[in-house]
């Protein structure tokens, strides 16, 4: 079953790849209209999911994420489809053009990757988002949602599928929505047909997927972000940045988890920054050296570090705090302990900042601003496919570009290698940019 799903998605990709931007965009418009027309049915199904979730005693945060009727969520989900439809065509862009010899020209052309497997948890709006992104970029997508959104998922899936089939040039196998949880494991084995897995959900989900597939995975298994407060720093900036990075949305992968403070900073300033966090309700996990300098800080919010305090993603109102001897020591600590997501330096000294920016090996390296900016929407990518801590292909917040690969087109007129140097002949390559 998993194999036939993957195989048919791959066959559909072969056709989808040849469609024009107009054909792909038209399909999005049709899907938008069909989902709009089905609004009542979708919200009815969504209500059943919510009731089931309540009866099952699922946490209210999860139920809230399920809810499509909430404050214009349905409309903004539909608007998202039109936003993607209006994006510039990402397919067929020429990114290199080179004359190899008279009449022999090489072009590098942006092209879709192939078949994407998207695995997500409760948010049903991901269906619309990913369907739009995949079709726009010419990729096939297999979508697997969480069981909590089963009813919503089912009806949206039927609408998307029947619309593609009846009204568009996009083959309906290009977007397949999988409802059974059992198939995920088998799908992860289809590396012959699936080119990229994109998990959207908890870190646990991502980590689990990464250890169960040979297919490349685009996602972050951890978001252990750090802030280093240098000796030449502004107390007010440091405090507001630390508080925002920690408390704006602590469950986000771009929330800060550890604070490194230059050891020469005087106690009053350390107390101001750490106190700012405590005042915002953050529990600070501190080393003995830091603890000794905290003076009259509310001890209810001060605990001692333990063994793994600097290798841990709290995702809560908690942060680990330690001293470092220098910017070099901060860099060394971060390159070892961070998850290479986003790390920040607070300093007024440009040379120190440059040293930090150059040495830190993370997707995002920040100077005097909140780690929470690490996000596709904030970066202006319009729409976000996910955030990647991989070091190949796409890194950091990933927009539509992350769903694209490229191909080389070589156009000749009977040219053969045997006539050129290196292939047995004497002709030389020209290698001129076109």
Positions in 392-421 near a copy of itself (CB under 8 A): 392-393, 395-397, 405-418, 420
Q: How far apart are CA 211 and CA 220, in angstroms?
A: 13
Of positions 59, 204, 358, 426, contacts a copy of itself by CB under 8 A: 358
Q: How far apart are CA 201 and CA 120, in angstroms?
A: 6
How many beta carbons lie within 10 A of that of residue 29, not counting itself? Answer: 14
The distance of closest approach from Cβ of residue 274 to a copy of itself in the complex, given in angstroms and rounded to an integer, is 18
Output the DSSP codes for 225-250: EEEEE-SS--HHHHHHHHHHHHHS-T
Is 210 near a copy of itself (CB under 8 A)? Answer: yes
CA distances (Å), origin 423, targets 104, 106, 346: 16, 18, 56
Of positions 26, 125, 148, 195, contacts a copy of itself by CB under 8 A: 195
CA distances (Å), origin 230, targets 59, 81, 235, 326, 327: 40, 44, 10, 8, 7
State which residue, 304 or 361, has the beta carbon closest to a copy of itself: 361
Could you give the angle at which helices 125-137 and 150-167 cross, rounded to 10 degrees? 30
Q: Strand ranges (DSSP E) for 155-195?
A: 175-178
The distance of closest approach from Cβ of residue 57 to a copy of itself in the complex, given in angstroms and rounded to an integer, is 29
Which residues, 6 or more positions from 29, have their beta carbon under 8 angstroms from its beta carbon?
82, 85
- Edge-to-edge strands, sheet with 175-178: 175-178, 140-144, 115-120, 196-200
State which residue, 179 or 211, has the beta carbon closest to a copy of itself: 211
State which residue, 159 or 282, has the beta carbon closest to a copy of itself: 282
Is 365 near a copy of itself (CB under 8 A)? Answer: yes
Q: How far apart are CA 252 and CA 3, in angstroms?
A: 34
Number of residues lying near a copy of itself (CB under 8 A):
80
The distance of closest approach from Cβ of residue 229 to a copy of itself in the complex, given in angstroms and rounded to an integer, is 13
How many beta carbons lie within 10 A of that of residue 433, not counting itself? Answer: 7
Is 221 near a copy of itself (CB under 8 A)? Answer: no
C-beta separation of 414 from 397 below 8 A: no
Which residues face 158 on adjacent strands?
none
Dihedral over Cα of 66, 69, 74, 75: its sign:
negative
State which residue, 101 or 158, has the beta carbon closest to a copy of itself: 101
Is 113 near a copy of itself (CB under 8 A)? Answer: yes
How many beta carbons lie within 10 A of that of residue 398, not counting itself? Answer: 24
Q: Which two tokens stand for residue 165?
A: 């089939």
Residues 304-333 that bind a copy of itself (CB under 8 A): 331-332
Is 93 near a copy of itself (CB under 8 A)? Answer: no
Residues 28-87 that bind a copy of itself (CB under 8 A): none
State which residue, 24 or 372, has the beta carbon closest to a copy of itself: 372
Q: Which two tokens stand for residue 243?
A: 């508080």
Of positions 5, 53, 68, 241, contacts a copy of itself by CB under 8 A: 241
State which residue, 176 or 362, has the beta carbon closest to a copy of itself: 362
State which residue, 298 or 407, has the beta carbon closest to a copy of itself: 407
Q: Which stretch binds a copy of itself (CB under 8 A): 30-38, 199-207, 307-315, 361-369?
A: 361-369
Is 422 near a copy of itself (CB under 8 A)? Answer: yes
Q: Which stretch binds a copy of itself (CB under 8 A): 37-45, 64-72, 222-230, 244-252?
A: 244-252
Residues 161-180 that bind a copy of itself (CB under 8 A): none
Residues 332-351 that bind a copy of itself (CB under 8 A): 332, 335
Is 240 near a copy of itself (CB under 8 A)? Answer: yes
DSSP state of 294: -
Which residues, 6 or more positions from 414, have their beta carbon under 8 angstroms from its beta carbon?
none
Which residues face 226 on adjacent strands?
258, 343
Is 104 near a copy of itself (CB under 8 A)? Answer: yes
Is 369 near a copy of itself (CB under 8 A)? Answer: yes
Of positions 117, 274, 374, 400, contacts a copy of itself by CB under 8 A: 374
The distance of closest approach from Cβ of residue 244 to a copy of itself in the complex, given in angstroms and rounded to an integer, is 4
State which residue, 185 or 423, has the beta carbon closest to a copy of itself: 423
State which residue, 50 or 118, has the beta carbon closest to a copy of itself: 118
Q: How far apart are CA 347 and CA 241, in angstroms?
A: 12
Q: Which stretch binds a copy of itself (CB under 8 A): 267-275, 286-294, 301-309, 354-362?
A: 354-362
């Amino acid at each position: 079953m998993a194999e036939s799903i993957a195989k048919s998605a791959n066959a559909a990709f072969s056709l989808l790849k040849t469609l024009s931007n107009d054909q792909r965009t038209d399909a999005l418009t049709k899907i938008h209209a069909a989902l709009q027309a089905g609004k009542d049915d979708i919200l009815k199904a969504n209500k059943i999911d919510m009731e089931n979730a309540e009866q099952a005693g699922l946490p209210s945060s999860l139920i809230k994420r399920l809810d499509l009727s909430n404050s214009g969520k349905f409309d903004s989900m539909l608007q998202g489809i039109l936003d993607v439809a209006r994006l510039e065509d990402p397919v067929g862009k020429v990114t290199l053009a080179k004359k190899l010899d008279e009449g022999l020209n090489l072009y590098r052309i942006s092209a879709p990757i192939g078949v994407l497997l998207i695995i997500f948890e409760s948010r049903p709006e991901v269906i619309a988002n990913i369907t739009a992104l995949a079709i726009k970029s010419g990729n096939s997508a297999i979508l697997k949602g969480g069981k909590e959104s089963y009813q919503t998922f089912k009806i949206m899936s039927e609408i998307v599928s029947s619309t593609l089939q009846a009204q568009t040039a996009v083959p309906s196998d290009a977007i397949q929505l999988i409802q059974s949880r059992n198939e995920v494991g088998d799908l992860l084995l289809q590396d012959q047909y699936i080119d990229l897995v994109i998990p959207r959900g908890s870190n646990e989900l991502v980590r689990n997927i990464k250890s169960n597939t040979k297919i490349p995975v685009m996602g972050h298994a951890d978001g252990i972000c750090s802030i280093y407060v240098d000796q030449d720093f502004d107390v007010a900036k440091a405090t507001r940045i630390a508080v925002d990075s920690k408390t704006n949305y602590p469950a986000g992968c771009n929330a800060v988890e550890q604070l490194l403070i230059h050891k020469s900073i005087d106690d009053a300033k350390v107390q101001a920054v750490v106190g700012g966090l405590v005042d915002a309700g953050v529990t600070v996990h501190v080393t003995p050296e830091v603890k000794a300098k905290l003076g009259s800080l509310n001890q209810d919010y001060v605990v001692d570090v333990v063994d793994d305090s600097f290798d841990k993603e709290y995702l809560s109102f908690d942060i680990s705090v330690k001293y470092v001897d220098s910017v070099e020591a901060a860099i060394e600590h971060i390159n070892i302990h961070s998850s290479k997501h986003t790390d920040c330096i607070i300093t007024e000294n440009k040379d120190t900042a440059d040293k930090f920016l150059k040495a830190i090996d993370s997707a995002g390296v920040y100077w005097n601003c909140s780690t929470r900016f690490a996000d596709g929407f904030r970066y202006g990518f319009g729409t976000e496919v996910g955030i990647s801590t991989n070091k190949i292909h796409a890194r950091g917040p990933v927009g539509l570009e992350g769903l694209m690969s490229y191909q080389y087109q070589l156009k000749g007129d009977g040219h053969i290698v045997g006539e050129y140097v290196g292939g047995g002949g004497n002709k030389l390559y020209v290698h001129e940019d076109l």
